[in-house]
């Protein structure tokens, strides 16, 4: 493995991390991607160029960061994604597998389709398998068969929501997963999943390394919540915001349609409020936005309920959007469930607020008409919109380029308008959240006009 300069820094509060991308070995196979010349309208010949491992994209582009560097210190930078002139695997012999894990997300089928078409048509790979039902598909006791993924098999899957490979949650034995990869001669594993999949992929890579196997692991990050670190936007997020705005519009229509009408919409976002914040800005009809990153009080003069009462007195209607992970301090560990992976689920903030609002106004003998909408499953199961569909194509293509070049233990990301390679560990070690002093959240506050909702 060749270690690239990482430009680590600890000044100006810019966090340093290792940007090295592991490789399975030296890439010695000439790429089958044809070299051809293109001629622009001025008659100039432009040759198709390949990407080098020394091509980098800066992690931070602020002037403060650049000025914080010591003389001669290279900036923290990530490896640029794209096709290499030399690849590691022989396309005629390599076996690839694709697996989808975690919850449903718009665009998953588009990524599967992009992976297969790129492997088959551009590189000439003929051994591409789909693993059914997530990591369960590797474990013999479940009895899930592999699926042959051909261009014909994926021709029309992008018009459907969900995943044609199906999915599952919960951990599986890492040793058994690697046993299966070795047994069926898989040399590149493409994983489509979120934070739980990233953690599992990290463990799989460690086991592969321990056994000294030559198996590449490439992750295409999937999370509607848009909360994976070092990923500017995760696929499915754009579609999720689009559908969320439909729910917000419906709740607003309900709220203004009756005296003291309250629309309450719960949107996805266990740890990060990007969907709630972005969907709010898309319509600018929302009066209160509650997200996991911002604490709020229910009671007291500065709390939500008193503010809501004053809002109804003045305008006779109100619209509240809440991210599913907001208000976690109102729930104890005892009244929260765990998911199949053993992680605590967020408390049901939507139902909690619904009950608290009704009780509050009943005590004041004020009649309210509250309509609660949770569009989560409508969002998860939607096909991707055109913007996500295009994005999924780029992610799939660049994942294939990385896998065929012998890269491993990495995910494909878009950063500063470039596609880049991110070490799995760098993404696992942190989470992306809405910064309360960011332009995004400041714009939300300006749009809604909401106060801090705290008894300061």
Contact 291, 267 (CB under 8 A): no
Query: Quick check: 12 pLDDT over 60?
Result: no
Query: Quick check: 113 pLDDT over 60?
Result: yes
Average pLDDT for residues 342-354, to the nearest whole number?
85
Show the tokens assigned to 404. Answer: 């065929």
> Pairing state of beta strands 410-415 and 418-423?
antiparallel
Residue 109 within any structural domain of the chain: yes
pLDDT mean across residues, the chain:
93
CA gyration radius, the chain:
24
Check residue 36 and give its pLDDT. Answer: 76
Contact 448, 248 (CB under 8 A): no
CA 240 to chain centroid: 11
Check residue 342 and give its pLDDT. Answer: 62
3-class state of residue 348 by DSSP = coil
Same domain, 371 and 388: no
Angle at 178 between CA 175 and CA 180, to 5 degrees: 110
> Pairing state of beta strands 188-193 and 147-148?
unpaired
Q: Which is higher by pLDDT, 205 or 15? A: 205
Nearest to 276 by CA among 191, 376, 366: 376
Check residue 340 and give its pLDDT. Answer: 63
Same domain, 186 and 243: no
Contacts of residue 294, defined as CB under 8 A and 6 or more positions apart, other chains included, come to 273, 326, 434, 436, 441
Query: Which pLDDT tens digit goes with each residue over 438-451?
Result: 999 999 999 999 99
Calpha distance 379→394 (Å, rounded):
22
What positions carry a catalytic annotation? 225
Distances (CA, A) of 98 to 205, 217, 399: 16, 10, 11
Check residue 144 and give its pLDDT. Answer: 96
Calpha distance 411→420 (Å, rounded):
8
Show the tokens assigned to 396. Answer: 């799939």
Q: What is the DSSP string of 157-168?
A: GGGSSS-TT---
Question: Residue 185: which pLDDT band, with cuts at 50, 70 and 90?
Answer: very high
Same domain, 210 and 264: no
Residue 11 within any structural domain of the chain: no
Query: Which pLDDT tens digit goes with each residue over 286-335?
Result: 999 999 999 999 999 999 999 999 999 999 999 999 999 999 999 987 66
CATH number (domain holding residue 185): 3.40.50.450
Check residue 10 and give its pLDDT. Answer: 33
- Count of structural domains, the chain: 2
Query: Which pLDDT tens digit goes with each residue over 233-292?
Result: 999 999 999 999 999 999 999 999 999 999 999 999 999 999 999 999 999 999 999 999
Check residue 156 and give its pLDDT. Answer: 96
Calpha distance 22→40 (Å, rounded):
38
Check residue 14 and give its pLDDT. Answer: 63
Query: Which pLDDT tens digit goes with each residue over 388-443?
Result: 999 999 999 999 999 999 999 999 999 999 999 999 999 998 889 999 999 999 99
Query: Which pLDDT tens digit goes with each residue over 130-172?
Result: 999 999 999 999 999 999 999 999 999 999 999 999 999 888 9
Same domain, 299 and 442: yes
Residue 353 within any structural domain of the chain: yes
Residue-range definition of the domain harbouring residue 333: 237-379+437-448
Same domain, 95 and 216: yes
Query: Quick check: 67 pLDDT over 90?
Result: no
Same domain, 104 and 157: yes
Residue 6 within any structural domain of the chain: no
CB neighbour class for 153 (10 Å; exposed up to 12, middle 13-18, buried from 19): middle
Same domain, 196 and 248: no
Query: Quick check: 371 pLDDT over 70?
Result: yes
Contact 198, 228 (CB under 8 A): yes
Contacts of residue 207, defined as CB under 8 A and 6 or more positions apart, other chains included, come to 174, 175, 177, 178
Secondary-structure breakdown of the chain: helix, strand, coil percentages, each rounded to the nearest 5: 35, 20, 45
Residue 150 within any structural domain of the chain: yes
Calpha distance 172→425 (Å, rounded):
20
Calpha distance 363→59 (Å, rounded):
53
Same domain, 138 and 184: yes
Query: Which pLDDT tens digit goes with each residue over 136-147?
Result: 999 999 999 999
Q: Tell me the percentage of the chain whose pLDDT exceeds 90.
A: 84
Same domain, 122 and 216: yes
Residue 3 within any structural domain of the chain: no
Residue 241 within any structural domain of the chain: yes
Same domain, 211 and 88: yes
Same domain, 170 and 146: yes
Calpha distance 131→128 (Å, rounded):
10
Q: What is the DSSP string of 416-435?
A: TTEEEEEEHHHHHT-B----
Residue 27 within any structural domain of the chain: no
CATH number (domain holding residue 333): 3.40.50.460
Same domain, 242 and 260: yes
């Amino acid at each position: 493995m060749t270690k690239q300069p990482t430009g680590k820094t600890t000044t100006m509060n810019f966090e340093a991390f290792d940007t090295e991308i592991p490789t399975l070995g030296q890439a010695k196979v000439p790429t089958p991607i044809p070299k051809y010349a293109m001629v622009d309208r001025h008659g100039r010949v432009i040759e198709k160029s390949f990407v080098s491992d020394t091509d980098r994209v800066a992690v931070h582009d602020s002037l403060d960061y650049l000025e914080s560097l010591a003389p001669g210190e290279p900036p923290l930078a990530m490896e640029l994604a794209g096709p290499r002139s030399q690849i590691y695997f022989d396309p005629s012999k390599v076996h690839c597998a694709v697996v989808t894990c975690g919850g449903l997300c718009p665009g998953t089928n588009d990524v599967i389709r992009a992976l297969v078409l790129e492997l088959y048509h551009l590189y000439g790979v003929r051994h591409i398998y789909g693993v059914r039902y997530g990591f369960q598909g590797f474990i013999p006791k479940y009895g899930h068969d592999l699926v042959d993924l051909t261009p014909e098999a994926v021709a029309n899957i992008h018009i459907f929501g969900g995943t044609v490979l199906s999915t599952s949650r919960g951990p599986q034995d890492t040793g058994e997963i690697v046993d299966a990869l070795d047994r069926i001669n898989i040399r590149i594993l493409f994983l489509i999943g979120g934070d739980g999949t990233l953690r599992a992929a990290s463990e799989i890579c460690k086991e592969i390394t321990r056994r000294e196997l030559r198996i590449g692991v490439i992750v295409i990050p999937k999370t509607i919540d848009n909360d994976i670190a070092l990923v500017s936007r995760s696929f499915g997020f754009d579609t999720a915001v689009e559908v969320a705005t439909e729910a917000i519009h419906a709740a607003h229509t309900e709220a203004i349609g009756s005296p003291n009408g309250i629309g309450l919409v719960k949107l996805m976002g266990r740890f990060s409020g990007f969907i709630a914040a972005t969907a709010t800005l898309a319509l600018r009809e929302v009066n209160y936005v509650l997200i996991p990153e911002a604490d709020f009080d229910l009671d007291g003069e500065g709390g939500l309920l008193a503010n809501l009462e004053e809002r109804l007195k003045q305008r006779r209607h109100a619209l509240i959007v809440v991210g599913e992970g907001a208000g976690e301090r109102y729930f104890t560990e005892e009244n929260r469930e765990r998911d199949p992976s053993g992680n605590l689920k967020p408390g049901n903030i939507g139902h909690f607020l619904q009950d608290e609002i009704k009780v509050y106004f009943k005590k004041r003998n004020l009649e309210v008409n509250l309509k609660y909408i949770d569009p989560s499953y409508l969002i998860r199961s939607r096909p991707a919109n055109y913007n996500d569909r295009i994005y999924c194509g780029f992610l799939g293509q660049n994942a294939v380029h990385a896998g065929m070049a012998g890269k491993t233990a990495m995910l494909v990301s878009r950063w500063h308008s470039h596609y880049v390679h991110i070490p799995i560990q760098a993404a696992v070690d942190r989470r992306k959240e809405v910064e309360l002093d960011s332009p995004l959240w400041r714009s939300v506050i300006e749009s809604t006009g909401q106060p801090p909702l705290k008894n300061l």
